[in-house]
Amino acid sequence: MATSSALLHPVRLRIVQALLGEGELTTHQLHERLSDVPIATLYRHVGHLVKHELIEVADEQQIRGASEKTYRLAPGFANPSAEELNSLSNEELLTAFTVFTSGLIRDFGDYLQAGDPDLYADRVSFAQASFWASDEEVDEFGRALMAALESLLANDATPGRRRRTLSTVLMPREEDAAQRETPRKGSEAQG
């Protein structure tokens, strides 16, 4: 797996974002999407991403005597399994999370560029909520969320339906001393 430092350049991050959104692209197609980046610079950054195993060659064809490569994200990088994530170092985890969050940023930027956004009418939302829960309660929440999503995931594209993306991030928050001393909702202070 690559190191997070391989993404710490705006052009390389944009290349990964483009591949995250499109799946597979040739260097020519990447250049169409990143037209402000000189082609030589684009080739250099694509090579850097391949070297650091963030992207790979998906296909290679001979066109008019030249080799045209099609690139994609490295397998497991866009949606790594729990086992793959557990095997990663902290730096590799940061790289995977950076790609995930950069995809969200790209998607939101694409939404804003598509016209006059109406977040309410389009049902766009982003929020953060912190709560107290045991591991069992978090597991139950995850099962309930997946149960609610199952019927939607089976939907076909039809008039009146828009393709939507639900992205989640769930992580523990460290308690500070003040939180440890404050009685939690539903508990009584001992006196």
Per residue in 46-64, pLDDT tens? 999 999 888 999 999 888 8
Q: What is the mean pLDDT of residues 70-88?
A: 75
Task: Give backbone dihedrals phi and psi of 86, rounded to 5 degrees, phi first.
Answer: -65, -25
Specify the 3-state DSSP secondary structure of 9. Answer: coil
Specify the 3-state DSSP secondary structure of 91. Answer: helix
pLDDT, position 32: 93
- Distance, in Å, from the CA atom of 134 to the CA atom of 124, rounded to the nearest integer, reads 29
pLDDT, position 115: 84
Tokens matching residue 42 = 């684009």
Q: How confident is the model at residue 79 (pLDDT cuts 50, 70, 90)?
A: low
Is the model more confident about 98 or about 159?
159
- Distance, in Å, from the CA atom of 32 to the CA atom of 45, rounded to the nearest integer, reads 15
What DSSP designation does 121 have? T
Q: How confident is the model at residue 80 (pLDDT cuts 50, 70, 90)?
A: low
Among residues of the chain, what percentage have pLDDT more than 70? 83
Contact between residue 57 and residue 23 where contact means Cβ atoms under 8 Å apart? no
Convert the pLDDT of each residue in 124-159 to its tens digit.
998 889 999 999 999 999 999 999 988 898 889 899
Mean pLDDT of the chain: 82
